[in-house]
Amino acid sequence: MNFLTEIVAFVVAIGVLVVVHEFGHYSVARMCGVKVLRFSVGFGKPLVQWTSKKTGVEWTIASLPLGGYVKMLDERESEDGIPSEDLPRAFNRQSVFKRIAIVAAGPIANFLLAIALFSAVFAGGVTEPAAIVSAPAPDTAAARAGFEGGEQILSMRDASGGESHAIRSWSDLRWKLLDASFDHRQVVLTAKTHDGAYDFPVNVAGITDADAEQDFMDKLGFTPGGGTLTVAGIEAGSAAQKGGLAAGDKLRAIDGRPVDNATSFIDYVKGHGGKPVTLTVERGGKSDAITITPELKRDASSGKDIGRIGAALANQLPTVDVRYGPFESLRLGVNRTWDISTYSLRMFGRMITGEASLKNLSGPVTIADYAGKSARLGPTAFISFLALVSISLGVLNLLPIPVLDGGHLLYYLVEAVTGKAVSDRWQLVLQRAGLVCIVSLSMIALFNDFARLIRF
């Protein structure tokens, strides 16, 4: 069932994004007076095909739903010649600025879609974990900043000064710290404690691209807290059962450390295999201490021996409803789209220079996986996923690689500056180089997909 969900979600996502991208080319081409011959969603053998009596455009849905194209009237692609009355409507006869507008319209449409989708999410509202910090691990940036656990983060600003930005949820905190860590900036977080609001200077300079590939928040020592951790079930014969832990117990502390987050609790247990730990639990309104020795078990994903007690946990974190007005939602939609776009470009630049790992590239398998996961989480998660992939598609197509929109834009910009079109010979050479580049990137992305699946 999960596999079917992933396939359906993937086809819907790619279909929507391709239609929007190609409709950008199509609509601007029509506005510029260019004759459009075909609008195809997908490649390969046509499954559905019809011709508009009004426009003469042939609309096609093809068998391979991994892209699409808009075919325009062009003398360079016509073997039988073009009637003289249609020559003014040929793409190659348009001014260089019209051609730039037509080619750029596809990626721009993807960015506009992302802005609309993010704006809808912000306006519709979303329930997210509150920006409350769990007790950080020792020797992390959060611990060195003075966080002890339970603080609610209110705002963030650069340590060098500048405007303070409100933090409304854990997701909001994560995005702002990601941006700061990418630029290796030091920031100041203002947080509310039990006795007032204080500033906590946080150094995020130690975060590397390898950390960003996983969860950089863990590296910084930030995990959502303030919640209640309850034992949902006990495995028969497990260390938890032998120690006297029971379903329904509320976990309050482990070896004297407050417990309000499943991740930090599990990490602590993993690191204490074969060593007794003391749990403070609440049962029937009373507090009790239970000593359990986690069993050493081999972790299939890491191949290392870790501690395990055999208890299923339910983590109920405090949440906030984040909702904005229409104008604020639009502003935030634009900002989020801009932030993700610039982050993607900078990450791609670092991959080219070797500063970032090529493992950051993802292919259709990973996209399908996340499409299915986001669809199962609900409409808001799937809409956010669509916006994210739409931005990725827009950024990818603007890269100055021949065969992509960005490559064609590069040709036209050279023509606009020099007054001369790039020669057919050079275009052919560059097209071949661009094709090699795209195939290489696709192979790396597919390799990364399968490497994630089989964990090697």
The CATH number linked to 202 is 2.30.42.10
Of 263, 292, 316, at which residue does a domain stop?
316
Decide if 197 is inside a domain. yes
214 shares its domain with 237: no
Task: Decide if 136 is inside a domain.
Answer: no
Residues 150 and 213 in one domain: yes
Q: Cite the active site residues.
A: 22
The answer on 350 and 308 residing in a single domain is no
- Please give the Cα distance from 141 to 133 (Å, whole number): 13
The tokens for 204 are: 């995020």
Pair (338, 446) in one structural domain:
yes
Confidence (pTM): 0.76
Instruction: Report the pLDDT value the prediction gives residue 454, as an integer from 0 to 100.
Output: 60
- The answer to whether residues 117 and 188 belong to one domain is no
- Is residue 121 located within the same domain as residue 149? no
Residues 335 and 418 in one domain: yes
pLDDT (0 to 100) of residue 357? 65
- What is the tens place of the pLDDT at every residue in 388-425? 889 988 998 898 888 888 888 998 998 888 888 888 78
**Which of 189, 220, 251 represents a domain boundary (last residue)?**
220
Number of domains in the chain: 3
Instruction: Say if 392 falls within a structural domain.
Output: yes
Q: What residues pair up with 193 in beta bridges, in sequence order?
A: 196
> Are residues 206 and 248 located together in one domain of the fold?
no
Q: Residue 258 is part of which domain span? A: 228-316
| Domain's final residue, options 299, 316, 333 | 316
Q: What residue type is 255 in one-letter code?
A: D
Contacts of 217 (CB under 8 A, 6+ apart): 174, 177, 223
pLDDT score at 365: 65
pLDDT of residue 453: 59
- Asked if 311 and 277 sit in the same domain, the reply is yes
Confirm whether 188 is domain-assigned: yes
Does the residue 312 lie in any domain?
yes
Residue 53 has pLDDT above 90, yes or no: no
Pair 177, 165: CB distance under 8 Å: no
Predicted confidence (pLDDT) per residue in 81-128, tens digit: 788 888 889 898 899 999 999 999 999 999 999 999 999 998 988 888
Same domain, 164 and 202: yes
Q: Are residues 278 and 330 in the same domain?
A: no
Burial class of residue 39 (count of CB atoms within 10 Å of its CB; 0-12, 13-18, 19+): buried
